[in-house]
Structure 1
Amino acid sequence: MPKPNFPILSKLKLLGHLVAILRDTTRTDRVFQFVEGLSHDPVLRAKFPHAPAEQAFLEAPFQMGFPQLDELRAMPEGSLGRALAVHMDALGVDFDEFDRTATPSSDLEWVDRHGYETHDIWHVITGWGTGTANEIGLQGFYAGQLDNIQPTGLILIALIRGLIGGKQDLSAMFEVIVAGWTQGRRSKALFGVDWREHFERPLAAVRRDFEVEPVESEGFVEVADKLAA
Structure 2
Amino acid sequence: MWNPVAYAQAAWRLTRAIRDPEKLQDVLGLAPVIAPPMAMRRLVERLTQHASAARAFVERPRLGLRSLPALRALPPDTLGRAFADHLEANRLDLDALPSLEARTDEEYVRAHLLESHDVWHVLTGFSTDVAGELGLQAFSLAQVGSPFALGVLAGGLTNTLLYAFSQREARMRAIVRGWLLGQRAQLLFGAPWCQMWDVPLAEVRRRYGLELAAVEAVLDDAMRPATEARHPGGASPPQSC
Shorter-chain TM-score range: 0.7 to 0.9
- Residue 32 of structure 1 corresponds to which residue in structure 2? 28
**How many angstroms does 1:15 deviate by?**
4.0
Q: Distance in 1 between matches of 2:8 and 2:144?
A: 27
- Residue 226 of structure 1 corresponds to which residue in structure 2? none
- Residue 81 of structure 1 corresponds to which residue in structure 2? 80
TM-score normalized with structure 1 length:
0.80
Identity fraction in percent: 28
Q: Please state if 1:7 is matched with 2:2.
A: yes
Quickly say closer, same or farther: Cα 1:8–1:94, change in 2 above 3 A.
closer
Q: Distance in 1 between matches of 2:34 and 2:76?
A: 40
Is the 2:177–2:215 contact (alpha carbons within 8 Å) kept by the matching residues of 1?
no
> 1:3-53 deviations in whole A, cap 9, x for unaligned?
xxx23535555445434555x4468243332233211253x4466554345
- Residue 160 of structure 2 corresponds to which residue in structure 1? 162
The one-letter code matched in structure 1 to 2:75 is P
The one-letter code matched in structure 2 to 1:152 is L
Is the 1:125–1:203 contact (alpha carbons within 8 Å) kept by the matching residues of 2?
yes
Is the 1:127–1:216 contact (alpha carbons within 8 Å) kept by the matching residues of 2?
no
Pairing 1:40-189 to 2, within 5 Å after superposition: 40=36, 42=38, 44-45=39-40, 48=43, 50-51=46-47, 52-53=49-50, 54-99=53-98, 102-189=100-187
**How many angstroms does 1:56 deviate by?**
4.2
Quickly say closer, same or farther: Cα 1:109–1:167, change in 2 above 3 A.
same
**How many angstroms does 1:99 deviate by?**
4.5
Aligned residue pairs total 214
Unaligned runs of 5+ in 1: 1-5, 223-229
Is the 1:183–1:212 contact (alpha carbons within 8 Å) kept by the matching residues of 2?
yes
**How many angstroms does 1:162 deviate by?**
0.9
CA RMSD of the aligned region, Å? 2.8
> Aligned to 1:144, what secondary structure does the other structure show?
helix
Runs of 4+ in structure 1 over 3 Å off: 8-22, 24-27, 44-50, 52-56, 219-222
The one-letter code matched in structure 2 to 1:57 is A
Is the 2:181–2:215 contact (alpha carbons within 8 Å) kept by the matching residues of 1?
no
- Residue 234 of structure 2 corresponds to which residue in structure 1? none
- Highest CA radius of gyration, 1 or 2? 2
**How many angstroms does 1:159 deviate by?**
0.5
Q: Please state if 1:195 is matched with 2:190.
A: no
Q: Distance in 1 between matches of 2:41 and 2:193?
A: 29
